[in-house]
Amino acid sequence: MARLLHYAAHPAPSSSQANRAMLRVVRGLEGITQVDLYAEYPRYDIDIAEEQARLLAHDVIVLQFPLFWYSCPALVKEWLDLVWEHGFAYGQGGDKLKGKTLLLAVTTGGPQEAYSAEGYQHFELRTFLTPFEQTARLAQMRFLAPYVFHGALKRDPAAHALGFGTLLGALRDERLDLRAAETTDILTHDTLPLIGIN
Ligand SMILES: Cc1cc2nc3c(=O)[nH]c(=O)nc-3n(C[C@H](O)[C@H](O)[C@H](O)COP(=O)(O)O)c2cc1C
């Protein structure tokens, strides 16, 4: 079993549909450490030592958030800025995340077709997520294709949320084809590369 650490970050959970549905499913899973980042640090007073200890104690790190201005909500960035510091995540002696896996789970307001050169967002979603991808690379981590729910404000999130549970369960039980998950563009509930199934 992989040791899985799941962070959820939504600044307004009471108005959330998609991320809340995903969270409900994750809460039913066993053997996964779960952190609600905004609930834990409403005043942004991140406990760096505690967060680094959490990261050290796990193999797979999952960051779940709604896309805000083509990036993560502010507390996720603050958490990255403070916790993934020199000597820990990068630089001299900064190999503490080496060999671990990073998975982003992102919901977007824009529909899938908007995220292309021809669409109104003009770029692929993966282009907006390159800072996370390169951060993982610098930290010598494995970066999986993000688990994405496009058009989150207009679609029923039920299948996506259930798929998220399947994905995290498979990561925990080491039943996800990591090579396939690394080389594909995005993961969705109906394109999960589960070992022994696809
Ligand atoms: C401050 C803010 C910025 C946003 N920026 C984007 C964006 O850059 N691209 C996009 O597709 N949706 C954007 N959205 C829409 C959110 O991604 C969308 O509301 C969210 O994914 C829905 O998930 P939820 O139901 O869990 O809140 C933004 C929403 C807010 C409030």
Query: Does residue 167 form part of some domain?
Result: yes
Q: How far is the CA of 17 from the centre of ligand 1 (A)?
A: 11
**Residue 136: what pLDDT?**
98
Question: What residue type is 131 in one-letter code?
Answer: P
pLDDT at position 198 over 90: no
Query: Does residue 197 form part of some domain?
Result: no
d(CA 111, CA 125): 11
Mean pLDDT, rounded, for 118-140: 98
pLDDT at position 132 over 90: yes
Average pLDDT value over all residues in the chain: 97
CB 180 within 8 A of CB 187: no
Q: How far is the CA of 110 from the centre of ligand 1 (A)?
A: 8
**Is the shortest distance between the CB of 68 and ligand 1 below 6 Å?**
yes
Query: Does residue 82 form part of some domain?
Result: yes
Query: Does residue 19 form part of some domain?
Result: yes
- Closest C-alpha to ligand 1, atom 20: 66
**Is the shortest distance between the CB of 92 and ligand 1 below 6 Å?**
no
- Closest C-alpha to ligand 1, atom 2: 68
The CATH code of the domain that includes 84 is 3.40.50.360
Q: Which distant-in-sequence residues (6+ apart) come within 8 Å of 179 by Cβ?
A: none
pLDDT tens column, 53-82: 999 999 999 999 999 999 999 999 999 999
CB 11 within 8 A of CB 38: yes
Q: How far is the CA of 71 from the centre of ligand 1 (A)?
A: 10
Question: What residue type is 124 in one-letter code?
Answer: E
Residue to substitute in 14, 16, 67 for testing ligand 1 pocket (most ligand atoms within 8 angstroms of CB)? 67
Report the number of distinct structural domains present in the chain: 1
Query: Does residue 172 form part of some domain?
Result: yes
Q: CB burial class (10 A; 0-12, 13-18, 19+) of residue 125?
A: buried
Which ligand 1 atom minimizes the distance to the CA of 19? 26
Total number of residues shown for the chain: 198
| Residue 116 phi, psi dihedral angles, 5° rounding | -155, 170
**Residue 197: what pLDDT?**
58
Which ligand 1 atom minimizes the distance to the CA of 107? 21
Range of the domain at 144: 4-183
**Is the shortest distance between the CB of 67 and ligand 1 below 6 Å?**
yes
Query: Does residue 198 form part of some domain?
Result: no
pLDDT tens column, 79-105: 999 999 999 999 999 999 999 999 999
Which ligand 1 atom minimizes the distance to the CA of 149? 21
Using a cut of 0.85, tell me whether the model's pTM lies above it.
Answer: yes
Query: Does residue 188 form part of some domain?
Result: no
Percent of the chain with pLDDT over 90: 98
Mean pLDDT, rounded, for 12-36: 97
**Residue 106: what pLDDT?**
98
Q: Which distant-in-sequence residues (6+ apart) come within 8 Å of 3 by Cβ?
A: 33, 57, 58, 59, 60
Band of residue 146 on the pLDDT scale cut at 50, 70, 90 = very high
For residue 54, what is the enclosing H or E element? helix 48-56
Mean pLDDT, rounded, for 109-119: 98
Band of residue 196 on the pLDDT scale cut at 50, 70, 90 = confident
Structure tokens at 81: 């800025």
